[in-house]
Amino acid sequence: MKFKAEINVMPLKALLDPQGKAVTGSMKNIGLPEITNVRIGKHISIEIEAASKEAAQKKAEESCKKLLANPIMEFFEISIEESK
């Protein structure tokens, strides 16, 4: 079966996110000062061939731990759907 995983890799909450900070500053300039604390990460979408959703979840987690995210600076969230 084929699955599709949508992965968000985000800077750890305790760390400064310079990109997010710059965009937060721009919100004021476009007249949206009520928008604060912008955090910017990466959205990665992958396809996985696996026997079950659990197996696909495991593979996706492995890819995050080994390559897609660096735990010293980032955390990740995965959501998996079967590809139609």
| Residue among 16 and 30 whose Cβ is closer to other proteins | 16
Residue 59's H or E segment, with its range, is helix 53-63
- The least CB distance from residue 72 to other proteins, in Å, is 4
Least distance (Å) from other proteins to the CB of residue 29? 16
The set of residues, in sequence order, having a beta carbon less than 8 Å from that of 83 and lying 6+ positions away, is: 2, 3, 4, 47
Q: Does 29 bind other proteins (CB under 8 A)?
A: no
Q: Tell me the C-alpha to C-alpha distance, in Å, between residue 27 and each of 12, 20, 65, 68.
A: 22, 11, 33, 29
Q: How far apart are CA 45 and CA 75, in angstroms?
A: 16
Q: Is 15 in the site for other proteins (CB under 8 A)?
A: yes
Is position 72 an interface residue for other proteins (rule: CB under 8 A)?
A: yes
Range in contact with other proteins (rule: CB under 8 A) among 19-27, 31-39, 51-59, 75-83: 19-27
Q: Binding residue for other proteins (CB under 8 A) from 2, 21, 28, 65?
A: 21
